[in-house]
Amino acid sequence: MDLAIDKLALGGKALGRVGGCVVFVEHALPGQRLRVRITRKKANFAEAQVVQLLAQSPAYAPPFCRHFGVCGGCHWQDLAYGEQLHWKREQVQESLRHLGGLTPEQVLPTAASPHTRYYRNKMEFTFGPGPGGCSLGLHLQGSRDRIFDLQECFLQSPQTGAFVKKVRSLCRQSGLPAYNPKTRRGFWRFLVLRESKSTAQMLAHLITTDQGDPAAVAALAAALTSTFPAITTLVHSLSRTRAQVASGADSRTLLGPGYIEEELGGLRLRISAHSFLQTNTAAAAGLYDAVRRFGGFRGSETVWDLYCGAGSIALYLARQVRRVVGFELVPEAVNDAYSNSRLNGVDNCSFLAGDLKERLKEALGSGSLPRPEVVITDPPRSGMHHQVVHALKELAPGRIIYVSCNPATLARDLALLGDHYEIATVQPFDLFPHTAHIECVARLERKRI
């Protein structure tokens, strides 16, 4: 059938209508007219594939990467950047309205990323079966287990492609096969690159199984550092889990101090292999400014920072408040947070490691910590656990600043808090240009009940 594309839905799919039926289409743009083939039909919606482009969208922009359409990332590379910002704000508004039943007072225009190419400070690459027993790259579009050999990438830095090619070549020469998630056999699993945008330091993190000779990793490390002097530290970790997640245990540092340093908003941050830091350094500074502005701090507040990672938000706020207490699951991140406190001469931040649900229960039960006037929460894509939401209601801070990377779970959590808090402002941020991912900062004020 022929279909006119009206909008972009949350998650990046395009949407058109035929009669009363909504039709979702992958890789289409608002303003296009398409001939499509229905691939799936449900009671109130259908899914379709593009057969032919009949009329191009005024918002079309020529893609700049050779892997566009093959790679599973950068789905919106053919959409003009101003239109990307427009649709991200629309999707935040629609999520709050339809998924949360909310009508926030103000959803501001999406804040643009200062850079739309080479903006990432971290990239994860996957090994898989391929020529010579090893491929290394990114996931194919629509696939969880198939990868393609990356040749170039405009996300991290111009040298990323050359680095990945060299690692792929060395791993093939090693004679050890890449890990196959179907058979659960093989050695090489993931390569994670972290690159400081301010210091140019680079951390390479190789993640393997225990089904090979660790000496192969040491040999690879020596060959890499002789070719790429930008590598200032190299870490090796073992992954024994079935889950295809780029992390591991039993980490050992093969070169350098085991961390790199990044500058963000006047802070010097020490980032190790397993630490969390917002992936777009330049855009994160604007997001942190919004957190500080929405907090309305006067200097006397105690702030709790939930899901604090390496403490970047806590340290960013430290000089505007009396005290910050950070909560974080990953012990290595807490160690980094204390290192970052010392590095920046901050002495009014403390950090607690452990499961957030249990830590909040202990804090509420024992009264061992001063109650916060403001809570910052920056949960993963899955949002806050319902026990954390309940603890926030019991804690009853005057203000909550919610940093979200998923408008759907943001809408859910704000709705759950709605009997105690009202939404004052929501600011979308584009930390991931050319993708459908959206970050938001929401300011919640406690109701007078």
Active site residues: 405
Degrees, nearest 5: CA angle 300-358-320: 15
| Alpha carbon separation from 402 to 56, 173, 262, 358, 383 (Å, rounded) | 39, 48, 24, 20, 10
SS3 at position 269: strand
- Under DSSP, the state recorded for 196 is -
Dihedrals phi, psi of 89, to nearest 5 degrees: -65, -45
SS3 at position 265: coil
Element containing residue 361 per DSSP (H, E): helix 356-366
Nearest to 193 by CA among 148, 153, 226, 222: 153
d(CA 279, CA 190): 18
CA atoms within 13 A on the CB side of 88: 31
* Percent composition of the chain: helix, strand, coil (DSSP 3-state, to 5): 25, 35, 40
